Structure 1
């Protein structure tokens, strides 16, 4: 196992089986570290099955990681949730099974990590001897602790500590709640350590003890084993699982720069330093004077300016004449944007925040487009009240919507496109569709990928994340 990531699990002192599983390995392309802890719920067999389904799904979906990573993690959770729920439907003995999990993807090369989380497993970041809890517990007691209403000590002893309100497998679909999966990203600096663990650790070992173990001058395997031992030494009431990831790149050290006034230089050195300035000021004026033919040069310069001015004037005059249409010229009419287009584009450009709600009451239907709508924001969520339809003008041949290169996360919710050759032109994997219809569109979505020139490229296209149905999915608004 690589030296900068490590995982370990233990049954504990009071359980007969282990419903925890973990992932601590590199992605198939070798560019990312996948770190995950899954805690199964639902009895002797059910919890183990749910946890294993989630683990297998993550390894399958994250074999190659590309594009916008957070939506990929969310989609992976959705697939795992669906598979767990389907398994429950086929086997009544597993009707109560589910799992909670925390997944992190570390990009050590670019000093960043991404995460997705459901339940009461936890994600911590250790930086400069300080341990920071990143994820939030999806439980009532966890909410009280995270909001400061309960101390860590009181929360650890609370009788309802392990009652969770979110898990994969609880419901058939998790799309109805956009906040069901907690997600985020953060810098992952040289020297940082990520800790992902099950509640078997944090129910028994406090933050101070965990910090002491993680800040010890040891490699990751001894640290992981000591965390397990600490939980077992306090009773080992539950399965205990720990995954650690270390950004082992060398920290950049910057030496302090002394102020210029801190050192008194000898007189000789001061003279050497100031000499060039003095020399520049004392250059004799006669060295800069032109020679005796200066008058001739001046006259030639004036003549050049005169000829140049005449040339520019004639060129401009010819252009102005050429711009006047002749009787035999065919005037090409440019499409004039209608009021609805102008209003919509202006609304997108001046939107404060990331959510835009389009009401059918504010726009005459359909919205006829004579030109492209441009989305230049980093992220935006466009959803509708009522039916919003974008229809191509009879003379327009371009796309309805184009996403700029800076767009990273653009959601279109419950809109329709009618008659376009290309409805949406996007780049990389910025686009998310919810209940979007394409009527008579030759190419609904055109995706362009940008890669570095003359490099070997590996990755995956995320088109499989889209699905089609004859009925809309449950509304989110």
Structure 2
């Protein structure tokens, strides 16, 4: 795939005969989103290629059509790929060792943001203002040592165990994945930003400094990607090398600041003025996200060809430019005073503009270095519960809390349409609102329930705990914690018909026997 803002390329390298890497560089939802991803296969000549191909296929199929929640869509696709890889491993013993690692991002340039998922030792980098920031974390022992600062990049690149990964798709079922098995996150993606997604075949061969030197060149992203492949091969090409680049091509908003000469002031306070100016104006603004440090200014300010203003502050230092005629002394002083005031105003204005842009730059840089990562998404347990509810045919659904470690984090509302059902938690079980939660309530009953019982469940952190129909709900030992509204009862009446009735205040009561 090649455009002016999205390009991907893969190369087998100089040592391996096959290529277990694949990449995705595609437009989604009529170019509303772009997807940039790299998948690196693991497990032998054939196995790695199959695992990476399965994962790519799952991503492309799951991300076709409307995408309401990009990060959840990415996560669901990786979960599906994980189960497909496990299935293939069971059907073919020769593929028993296959797995894959992946880093995939969905880019929303309209909102200047990207959403990503990551597992293994492929990497995502964000390049902005000549700075390369690694936003994914290597899920390997050597990667952990490098990310924590205990191992230098050069040492990590030479470490004999640098390719030993802790997590990958196809190793364990989704239901058995711990909370942080797949890393998820979001990051600002501003006009001019460049996203690099790559396999370890690149980062094991060339350093971040070498990568930055390529990315900062004013050349098309296709040439940048090809140059990175070339450098990795020139360094040895010991593994497959894959690079995907995506750029936010929107033009940065520019504030035009007219060039106004900063006049030199020759008086007793000249040295103090220049010292304060150097301390208070560390950066000179040129265009957005592009600064020039004072080291680029002339070393001697006398090199700046600007008009010199002399100030009549003290008679023994005063040098007049021309003799004053009788009756002109007051006018000359007034003109000099006006010039001084104008010069001071211009200096203050420049200091204010530069200070504002410096503050904005520091704020954006802080936001970049503190890449916003969402809380762990515990969808394995949520998916397991949803599948259980969808396929259950009996009357009483018993939930073994050990299967969920006592907690099910929800990213979406659980909707129950059965007209009669008993849900019984066999032990303490909490439904907890996840940071990615999108929905009205933890549980919402749809349809016209005759009899639905909930027993032994704790609901925590939701704006609304349960949305129930007008009748048919029975609660026993249900605890609401930090919910804005515990239970919302909804009624539907026919149009233009008289309604009579009441809601009993004794419908629900505190059950002291349910306290643990």
Bucket of the pairwise TM-score, normalised by the shorter protein: 0.5 to 0.7
Give deviations 1:393-445, integer Å, cap 9, x for gaps. Answer: xxxxxxxx9x9xxx95259999897997599xxxxxxx9xxxxxx9977xxxx
Give deviations 1:283-317, integer Å, cap 9, x for gaps. Answer: xxxxxxxxxxxxxxxxxxxxxxxxxxxxxxxxxxx
Conserved 8 A contact 2:180-2:376: no
The 5 A counterparts of 1:78-477 are 78-173=79-174, 176-256=177-257, 386-387=427-428, 409=437, 421=449
In structure 2, runs of 5+ residues without a counterpart are 264-333, 339-374, 378-409, 415-424, 453-461, 463-468, 474-516
Q: Aligned partners of 1:97, 1:153: CA distance in 2, in Å?
A: 29
Q: What is the CA distance between 1:29 and its match in structure 2? A: 3.1
Conserved 8 A contact 1:97-1:169: yes
Change (3 A) 1:243 1:65: farther
In structure 1, runs of 5+ residues without a counterpart are 270-352, 356-377, 391-400, 424-430, 432-437, 442-477
- Report 1 or 2 for greater relative contact order, CA contacts < 8 Å, sequence distance ≥ 6: 1
SS in structure 1 opposite 2:46? helix
TM-score (ref. length: structure 2): 0.53
SS in structure 2 opposite 1:43? coil
- 1:10 is the counterpart of 2:38: no
Change (3 A) 1:68 1:175: farther
Q: What is the CA distance between 1:109 and its match in structure 2? A: 1.5
| Aligned residue number for residue 22 of structure 1 | 23
Change (3 A) 1:147 1:412: farther
| Aligned residue number for residue 306 of structure 1 | none
| Aligned residue number for residue 380 of structure 2 | none
Change (3 A) 1:418 1:107: closer
409-418 vs 2-11, which moves further: 409-418
* Number of equivalenced pairs: 308
Q: Aligned partners of 1:217, 1:191: CA distance in 2, in Å?
A: 12
SS in structure 2 opposite 1:194? strand
| Aligned residue number for residue 46 of structure 1 | 47
414-423 vs 125-134, which moves further: 414-423
Q: Aligned partners of 1:411, 1:167: CA distance in 2, in Å?
A: 30
SS in structure 1 opposite 2:155? helix
Change (3 A) 1:6 1:142: same
407-416 vs 180-189, which moves further: 407-416
| Aligned residue number for residue 56 of structure 2 | 55
Conserved 8 A contact 1:418-1:440: no
Conserved 8 A contact 2:413-2:444: no
Q: Aligned partners of 1:245, 1:171: CA distance in 2, in Å?
A: 32
Q: What is the CA distance between 1:173 and its match in structure 2? A: 1.9
| Aligned residue number for residue 69 of structure 2 | 68
Q: Aligned partners of 2:81, 2:14: CA distance in 1, in Å?
A: 30
Conserved 8 A contact 1:123-1:194: yes
Q: What is the CA distance between 1:161 and its match in structure 2? A: 0.3
Q: What is the CA distance between 1:28 and its match in structure 2? A: 4.2
SS in structure 2 opposite 1:56? helix
Conserved 8 A contact 1:68-1:408: no
Q: What is the CA distance between 1:66 and its match in structure 2? A: 2.4
Conserved 8 A contact 1:388-1:414: no
Give deviations 1:120-179, integer Å, cap 9, x for gaps. Answer: 000000000100000000000000000000000000000000000100000122564121
